[in-house]
């Protein structure tokens, strides 16, 4: 049965989507037989856009699933190789408003995705869910169905506060909503060797230690390589040509992947 992993951090632009797409790229590159589904939960549709598929390219999507107008197999499309996508359509932007009205009729609002994924979970080794920078009830659906959460952390000022906050919110989901969600780990993203970043990385490690959460030793360094790959090649950088000799920074993802496998996270 597929392991479901949500990537969440309620801060915009920290690299969540880039992290999901590059990690999926690294897994697929390492083992072409792994069957992976990527679920896009963000109306921006940046998962598809990272592969040159703009919002509007797909007829059906997650929004149809939540509204009950399509079943899950009608909302899944091939992305590349053994990797599929459950995208969003332009209607995703109106989903919360529509559901606010519909919600009166739904008895289990946090289980909509859980119920649907049950039909297809066996078809995949991994299911990754990319989330918007909020922790709304749609993300609550992701947490409900997930085996664990990966939290990207950018070591900028206020970043540690954000990390502590998301850990608290996850505690709330666990205690008040009986959503048993495990934090699989925190990953440093867009990290530079500069002093502020080193300081914030070590503050984050301390916060994780206190909360008994794993922070991976490997981190992803800051480089234009990621935006360049999407911009010029319509691909996550981990799926582009990698220059081993010149220490391509994208190798970070493969080092992280090895650590995740070694730690039993993947
Ligand atoms: N390691 C990195 N170094 C430098 N830039 C990066 C890195 N990872 C991602 N980026 C870039 O940072 C920008 C924001 O990344 P991304 O869209 O993944 O963030 P996000 O958290 O998903 O944003 P949102 O909250 O809007 O969904 C993108 O242009 C992306 O290419
Ligand atoms: Mg995003």
Question: Domain 3-258: what homologous superfamily?
Answer: P-loop containing nucleotide triphosphate hydrolases (3.40.50.300)
Domain ranges of the chain: 3-258
The CB of 133 under 6 Å from ligand 1? The reply is: yes
Query: Two tokens at 115?
Result: 């119920």
pLDDT of residue 101: 75
pLDDT in tens, 8-33: 998 889 999 999 999 999 999 999 99
pLDDT of residue 32: 95
Q: Is the pLDDT of residue 104 over 70?
A: no
- The packing angle between helices 16-30 and 225-233, to 10°, is 80
Sequence-ordered list of residues with C-beta below 8 angstroms from that of 3, at least 6 positions apart, any chain? 125, 126, 127, 147, 148, 266
Q: Is the pLDDT of residue 69 over 80?
A: yes
Q: CA-CA distance, 24 to 46, in Å (whole number)? A: 14
pLDDT of residue 246: 86
- What SS3 state is found at 172? helix
Report the atom number in ligand 1 closest to the C-alpha of 12: 25
The residues that bridge with 245 in the sheet, in sequence order, are none
Question: For residues 158 and 148, is the Cβ–Cβ distance under 8 A?
Answer: no
Which helix or strand (DSSP H or E) is residue 188 part of?
strand 182-188
Residue 222 CA, ligand 1 centroid: distance in Å = 10
Q: Give the strands of the sheet with 126-130, arranged side by side.
A: 77-80, 83-86, 36-40, 126-130, 3-7, 148-153, 182-188
């Amino acid at each position: 049965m597929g392991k479901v992993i949500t990537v969440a951090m309620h801060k915009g632009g920290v690299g969540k989507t880039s992290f999901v797409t590059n990690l999926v790229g690294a897994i697929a590159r390492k083992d072409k037989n792994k069957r992976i589904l990527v679920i896009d939960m963000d109306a921006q549709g940046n998962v598809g856009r990272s592969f040159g598929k703009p919002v509007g390219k797909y007829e059906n999507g997650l929004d149809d699933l939540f509204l009950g107008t399509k079943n899950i197999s009608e909302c899944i499309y091939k992305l590349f190789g053994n990797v599929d996508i459950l995208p969003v359509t332009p209607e995703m932007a109106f989903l919360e408003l529509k559901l606010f009205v519909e919600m009166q009729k739904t008895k289990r609002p946090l289980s909509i995705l859980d119920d649907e994924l049950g039909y297809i979970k066996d078809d995949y080794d991994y299911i990754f869910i990319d989330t918007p920078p909020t922790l709304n009830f749609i993300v609550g659906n992701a947490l409900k169905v997930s085996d664990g959460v990966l939290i990207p952390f950018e070591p900028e000022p206020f970043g540690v506060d954000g990390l502590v906050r998301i850990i608290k919110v996850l505690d709330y989901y666990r205690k008040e909503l009986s959503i048993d969600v495990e934090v699989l780990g925190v990953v440093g993203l867009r990290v530079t060797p500069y002093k502020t970043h080193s300081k914030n990385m070590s503050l984050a490690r301390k916060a994780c230690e206190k909360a008994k959460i794993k922070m991976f030793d490997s981190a992803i360094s800051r480089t234009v390589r990621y935006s360049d790959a999407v911009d010029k090649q319509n691909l996550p950088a981990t799926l582009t040509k990698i220059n081993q000799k010149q220490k391509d920074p994208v190798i970070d993802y493969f080092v992280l992947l090895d650590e995740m496998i070694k730690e039993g996270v993947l």
